[in-house]
Structure 1
Amino acid sequence: MAKSSLSVLLFFILGTLSFVLSTAVADLTSPYLSPTTIFPNYQKMLHTFRIFICSPQNTKNPISYNTPAESLFHTSLVNSPFVTQNPNEAHLFFVLFPSDFSTRSIARLVRDLRMELPYWNRTLGADHFYMSCAGIGYESDRNLVELKKNSIQISCFPTPYGKFIPHKDITLPPFNPLPHSLPQAPVNKTATFLGYFRSYGDRGDGESQSSLVNDLSGDPEFVIGSNASDQLTHMVRLASSKFCLFFYAVDVSGIGDALRFGCVPVVITEGPIQDLPFLDVIRWSEIAVFVGTGRGAKELKHVLERTCKDGYERMRGLGMKASQHWVWNESPQPYDAFHTVLFQLWSRRHAIRYARREWV
């Protein structure tokens, strides 16, 4: 009897271990943090998600934005079936204002929402979201404080320092005008270069960027292009390089195209990055390499060569799978940038609803 029980226990342990190992292996074939839940949840979002738009009163001019990504998100949302005219069926409320709105105007807008509609006071703005590439700082006005601390901020990547709250706020993937009708890189790509960096002149942090670029420019395994390079040359270099280098806070708009052309992004940063697009959807550590700005050309090359020996093809393949989420379309398509941003909003729809205070 004891021997039989031991056999059953051993069988159970081995079965559990096999399941855990198979799950771990399966996860390595997906760029998503939760590959078993993202697709059914995405389908549920498509059929049930509703957003009510809170527009500024007495606005004569149409809403305008400073970036194409903001404009595309706004236009796509307004023309989508996700918008409802009935605030009682809304999961989230979009506090709409243009890029040139002053902090005083934003505070006045929130004050009007508080006074005219009952929805803000139910959660102190926790089921509201707004869009601002510049972000909102920590102001003393009560309306701005609640908007900043409680509401979801959609900003551009990268977000200005101090203007982003992790786990609450989200960022728009950068818009890049490269034609999306072009095919992805072939599955078995033979790269000509180890690394490719598209220089942006004197933009960015200056000294550390220039020093590294100067050191790499003499290495035949790296190709350094200028911002003035034509798009065709740029795409050829993306497709013929194993890694594409980006300096965080300089210009990271090409990350999506690097992923699509099978060029693994290498993000050079001073510290941890908390505002990556789709941070709670994509397993970034599996599709990109992150290195510190203090590394010289020799150390950087060592990291890239080591990555080539340890999982490069997997990273490249997962990155190509994930690249669809960086595509901005004039007419939104499944799993594109617009829908993936909406999915992040959908994931944040469960706001704490405070008991309504009755005044006597």
Structure 2
Amino acid sequence: MWQSNKLVCSSYVPRSSFASILVLLLVIIPLIVIVGFLSFYSPIFTIQNPSELLKAATSASTPTPTPTPLISSSQHNDASKAPSPFSSKETSEAPAPFTLPPPLEEEEVTTLKHKGFNEGIVTSKRQRRLKKIEASLARARSAIREAALVRNLTSTHQDPDYVPWGPVYRNANAFHRSYLEMERLFKIYVYEEGEPPIFHNGPCRSIYSTEGRFIHEMEKGQFYRTRNPDEALVYFLPFSVVMMVQYLYKPESHDIDGIQRAVVDYIDIIGNKHPFWNRSLGADHFMLSCHDWGPRASTFVPDLFHRSIRVLCNANTSEGFNPSKDASFPEIHLRTGEVTGLIGGEMPSRRSILAFFAGRLHGHIRYLLLEQWKNKDQDVQVYDQLPDKVSYNSMLKKSRFCLCPSGYEVASPRVVEAIYAECVPVLISDNYVPPFSDVLNWKSFSVQVEVKDIPNIKTILMGISQKQYLRLYMRVRKVQRHFVVNGPPKRFDVFHMTVHSIWLRRLNTQIEDQ
């Protein structure tokens, strides 16, 4: 019987074939299930190229190195003794187990990333701003140098209020240009840390009144103050040494630890909270004090003493006062807080007393003066205590020359008292830098007598001709505006001149943000 080679599809399967198929299915189906299960719960692993396969095989056959144990901050001293993970030298102790720190929460990771990013942006912005500030200061320096080339006695710059002129200035044109640049550019940031009465406060009715008045004017913020520290050229440390002495010092105890802690802690606080102190090590910061202990208070922080601008009444070069970075500050005794009744005096023709001084025995210079001249001469009237019913101010106003000897410290309020009374000041001191002496020519309106020449005071003053005296008298009247305390401050007065002294020191300092 002929059979066709054509395969006929039929539902009929021989019994032996059916059994074979059944066995095959029983083996294959479980395998498929197992493979599917494994593929569902296992990551997909693919080899992109042969080199990846080689790399995977190599990493699989290489043992994982033992991790280095972490060294805590308390173990840093022994870090050099710790075995290196790459050293072949065996140790008897097993390495400490490496423990991963707990993972940061997602929110913490985001915060840290954003913080680092923002800090980078802030730092970059500050660097750019500082470069702009330094560039503007460079242009100001150039303008002032150019103005200094003009040797006229009168400033060539226009000004609606006052145009400096005359020999009372070292260079009237340069000073005026500098003053105008200060008004245009200068910005001061006052640190807000600290609480009154020691911080942001000071006396306004005492021999230390200029310290308190300056602090209060800066707190008001009407002149030069900026609330943005990034745009400031200098930073004011608003502590009052006078108030520290009042509240932190026990009289006669000779214990100034409280003052030291206050100054050191304050610098630490602003250094930790703000980047500006550490950026310049204090070179663009300034403190201000009229107390005798002002210089001493600055010694508690070396950078404050050596680098910062110290505005001091006690401007004594033998005690570390550096005129190139520190500024002399006038000491003004305002008993009522005002200058009413203090300004002005008799005309030269009505000044009958050649020289006058009244003051207590403070320091060796006054001792020499009183020993030499007390009750000795009607032309040179020297008192340790005025007679009853004799007015101190009236004596100033009718004297030609007012003796201004140093006391325990070099500064004396008698210098400004003499200028107010239009009495030619006679400076008797060692190592004293007068206020605003980088702008004012003190020799043009005052007489300076060395301590060794105290016995010759009358001879020296009598040797000044009437013509010379009248010139001195007129120049005293001219510089008077720079020492007057006004409320509110007026251009070119003592407040603005003090700020100008700070401006000049900052002008000569270049700050870089590393």
**Scaled by the length of structure 2, what TM-score is found?**
0.57
Aligned to 2:234: 92
Question: C-alpha offsets along residues 258-279 of structure 1, whole Å, 9 cap, x if unaligned?
Answer: 123331111222x3423x2112
Q: Secondary structure at the match of 2:476?
A: helix
CA shift, 1:204, in A, is 2.7
In 2 relative to 1, CA 229–166 (structure 1 residues): closer, same or farther, beyond 3 Å? farther
Residue type of the partner of 1:91? L
Q: Which residue of 2 aligns with 1:109?
A: 266
RMSD of aligned Cα (Å): 3.2
Higher-Rg structure is 2
Separation (CA, whole Å) in 2 of partners of 1:315 and 1:139:
37
Between 280-289 and 62-71, the greater mean CA deviation after superposition = 62-71
* Counterparts of 2:413 and 2:389, CA distance in 1: 14
Counterpart for residue 511 of structure 2: 353
Aligned residues: 328
**Amino acid aligned to 1:344:** S
Structure 2 residue aligned with 1:253: 413
Q: Between the two proteins, what is the percent identity of the paired residues?
A: 23
C-alpha spacing 1:42/1:189, structure 2 compared with 1 (3 Å)? farther
Cα pair 1:257 1:323 within 8 Å, conserved? no
Distance (whole Å) between structure 1 residues aligned to residue 150 and residue 231 of structure 2: 43
Q: Say yes or no: does 1:291 pair with 2:449.
A: yes
Q: Which residue of 2 aligns with 1:56?
A: 193
What is the one-letter code of the residue matched to 1:82?
Answer: Y
Q: Equivalences for 1:308-319 in 2 at 5 Å?
A: 308=465, 311-319=468-476
Matched, 1:74 2:225: no
Tell me the residue number matched to 2:319: 162
- Look up the match of 1:321: 478
Describe the shift of the 1:29–1:103 C-alpha distance in structure 2 as closer, same or farther (beyond 3 A).
same
Tell whether the 8 Å contact from 1:55 to 1:97 is kept in structure 2 after alignment: no
Q: Which has the higher contact order (CA 8 A, sep 6+)?
A: 1
State how far apart, in whole Å, the 1-side matches of 2:471 and 2:166 are.
8
What amino acid is the match of 2:262? S
Q: 1:237 Cα shift?
A: 2.1
Q: AA paired with 2:333?
A: N
Do structure 1's residue 336 and structure 2's residue 336 form an aligned pair?
no
Distance in 2 (CA, whole Å) between partners of 1:62 and 1:261 is 33
1:325–1:232 distance in 2 versus 1, CA, 3 Å: farther
Give the residue type in structure 1 aligned to 2:432. I
Per-residue CA deviation, residues 16-58 of structure 1 (Å, 9 max, x unaligned), is xxxx99847999933112211223432332343211112335x
Q: Which moved more, 1:24-33 or 1:43-52?
A: 24-33
Q: Which has the higher helix share?
A: 2
User: Which segments of 5 or more consecutive residues in structure 2 lack a partner in the other structure?
Assistant: 1-148, 156-163, 245-257
Q: Distance in 2 between matches of 1:111 and 1:188?
A: 55
Matched residue, 2:173 = 36
CA distance in 2 between partners of 1:55 and 1:119 (Å):
14
Does the CA contact (< 8 Å) of 2:315 and 2:432 recur in 1? no
In the superposition, relative to structure 1, how do residues 326 and 60 fare at CA in structure 2: closer, same or farther (>3 Å)?
closer
**Equivalent position amino acid for 2:239 in 1:** F
1:220 aligns with 2:378: yes
2:20 corresponding residue in structure 1: none
Q: Would you tell me which structure has more strand in proportion to its own residues?
A: 1
The equivalent residue for 2:371 is: 211
TM-fit CA distance, 1:318: 1.1
Q: CA deviation at 1:128?
A: 0.7
What does residue range 158-237 of structure 1 map to in structure 2 within 5 Å? 162-177=319-334, 180-182=339-341, 184-185=344-345, 188-198=348-358, 200-205=359-364, 207-214=367-374, 217-225=375-383, 227=385, 233-237=391-395
* Alpha-carbon distance in structure 2 between the residues aligned to 1:332 and 1:255: 21
1:16 aligned partner: none
Whole-Å separation in 2 of the counterparts to 1:89 and 1:310: 51
What are the ranges of 5 or more consecutive residues in structure 1 without an aligned counterpart? 1-19
* C-alpha distance in structure 2 between counterparts of 1:105 and 1:339, whole Å: 29
How far, CA to CA, are the matches of 1:192 and 1:184 in structure 2?
A: 16
Amino acid at match of 2:493: D
- The answer as to whether partners of 1:92 and 1:128 remain within 8 angstroms in 2 is yes
Q: Which segment drifts farther, 241-250 or 226-235?
A: 226-235
Partners of 1:342 and 1:284 lie apart in 2 by 19
